[in-house]
Amino acid sequence: ILRHCIVYQFHNTSGNARIRQYWSAEDNKSLKEDGGNLAPFLLRLREQYPAYYRRIVETIKDIAPFFDDFALQPDQHKLLLQWKEKGSDVVFGPHQASDGSLRMMALISLLLQPEDNLPSIIIIDEPELGLHPYAINVIAGLIQSVSSQAQVILATQSTSFLDQFEPQDILIVERQDRESIFKRFDPKTLSEWLDEYSISELWEKNVIGGGPLK
């Protein structure tokens, strides 16, 4: 089971992050856990799965309307994540991108890859980190869609992200006596609350748990 699980964490977008560096163009079969080989991965999709590649590009355009397309040109078998903007012939590189933009590109590429390339279980830690609220809505929709092809497990502390999912999708994690306790959200018990409040509001009020334990 563990061999078919991949844990993705796109937190590291510092100047030395692997996603901002040149990568071997041949290392493109699957997306690395930190998105380090995003450029070779996208190049393979463009060449072998053009319809999926175009969907990735169009989804990025939906979030960032200025985006035009990736500029993926290997240099001595090395590849850097580059792109162009609409109305400009300037090629931009990863050191000119915001942290949130890089994470958004990696998440969309992960979730919109061909179904037969998906891991059996995808675990994503804090997918909302650095994203615009509209991007959170789009990413949540992609996660719901891909969940029919693979099991997706998310860890989040974002109220905006939480509200994109149904009560039955949510597990509350609390620490008690130095261990993590998992409990499933019970929409029937809280049906009257849900008539007036969103899930995130109930979380903030500590009605469903997941808040500080006294």
The pLDDT, as a whole number, for residue 1 is 77
* CA–CA separation, 184 and 200 (whole Å): 15
State the residue for tokens 């994109």. Answer: 164
Encode pLDDT of 100-153 as tens digits. 999 999 999 999 999 999 988 999 999 999 899 999 999 999 999 999 999 999
Token pair for residue 124?
């994503």
* CA–CA separation, 112 and 59 (whole Å): 9
* CA–CA separation, 101 and 145 (whole Å): 22
- pLDDT mean over 60-73: 95
Amino acid at 201: E
Encode pLDDT of 70-94 as tens digits. 999 998 999 999 999 999 999 999 9
Secondary structure of the chain: what % helix, strand, coil (to 5)? 40, 20, 45
The candidate with the shortest Cα–Cα distance to 24, out of 87, 90, 74, 82, is 74
DSSP-derived letter for residue 213 is -
pTM higher than 0.75: yes
- How many alpha carbons fall within 13 Å on the CB side of residue 7? 6
**pLDDT surpassing 90 at residue 23:** yes
